[in-house]
Chains A and B, each alone.
Chain A
Amino acid sequence: DGGITQSPKYLFRKEGQNVTLSCEQNLNHDAMYWYRQDPGQGLRLIYYSQIVNDFQKGDIAEGYSVSREKKESFPLTVTSAQKNPTAFYLCATAGLNTEAFFGQGTRLTVV
């Protein structure tokens, strides 16, 4: 069953905590992306990676960190430096000249 898997679906974070969102794919795609979606603001790019061991900041990278140690995995850490982390987070992959495939998303809430 090919695809992209995000976990967990719901995540609660206390003030000052770091949390890590998982994104795994078995589509053999080189490119992976993390987006944040807030109501009325559309998809905003946090980080993206075109190849293993390399990644670039997107438009709103402050307060986030990523790693790309394996082709299949692109975890996102929301650090305590991110002042407004409550949002819907989406991971996506894309092959060369193909459309983007999205995971089901992780809804992060600060409690």
Chain B
Amino acid sequence: SQKIEQNSEALNIQEGKTATLTCNYTNYSPAYLQWYRQDPGRGPVFLLLIRENEKEKRKERLKVTFDTTLKQSLFHITASQPADSATYLCALDRVRAGNNRKLIWGLGTSLAVNP
């Protein structure tokens, strides 16, 4: 079955540095890979989506890369701020026959940005 692995340990970085989070997957080739942010006690919020034929996607201070050979996506936050502290989730997305979509989620990586 499909499996996603994210950094299990919390990531602590200093304000202004670049945070890099990893998402590795096995046993499947997704059509899309998505990244979400989740704050405590709230639902995840979508950040970026990258397609299998894309190598990189950017949005403001966020950058996602997608290496289908390594089966890995990297999520970067540049010039990090304490407000970026949250849990970040990656999800594989595959559109099956009849548009039967079923996202497969990683456990998330907790990021703490220290002032």
Contacts and interface: CB of A to CB of B under 8 A. Distances in A.
Interface of A: 6, 30-31, 33, 40-43, 45, 48, 50, 88, 90, 92, 94, 96-97, 99-105, 107
Given A42-B89, A102-B43, A104-B43, 18 more contacts: A6-B43, A31-B101, A42-B106, A43-B89, A48-B102, A50-B100, A50-B101, A88-B41, A90-B43, A92-B43, A94-B101, A96-B99, A99-B46, A99-B49, A100-B34, A100-B46, A100-B103, A102-B44
A66 B34 CA distance: 26
Interface string B87-115: 00101000100111111011110000000
Contacts of B89: 42-43
Majority secondary structure, A binding face: strand
Contacts of B42: 104-105
22 contacts: A30-B99, A31-B99, A33-B103, A40-B107, A42-B89, A42-B105, A42-B106, A42-B107, A42-B108, A50-B99, A50-B100, A50-B101, A90-B43, A96-B99, A97-B95, A99-B34, A100-B44, A101-B46, A102-B44, A102-B45, A104-B42, A105-B41
Nearest to A6: B43
Residue of B36, B43, B100 with highest tally of chain A CB at under 10 A = B43
Contact of A43 (B34, B41, B100, B105): B105
Contacts of B36: 100
Given A99-B49, A100-B103, A104-B43, A50 B34 contact: no
Contacts of A42: 89, 105-108
Contacts of B91: 100
A98 B100 CA distance: 13
Contacts of B102: 45, 48
Contacts of B98: 50
B43 A103 contact: yes
Interface in B1-44: 34, 36, 41-44
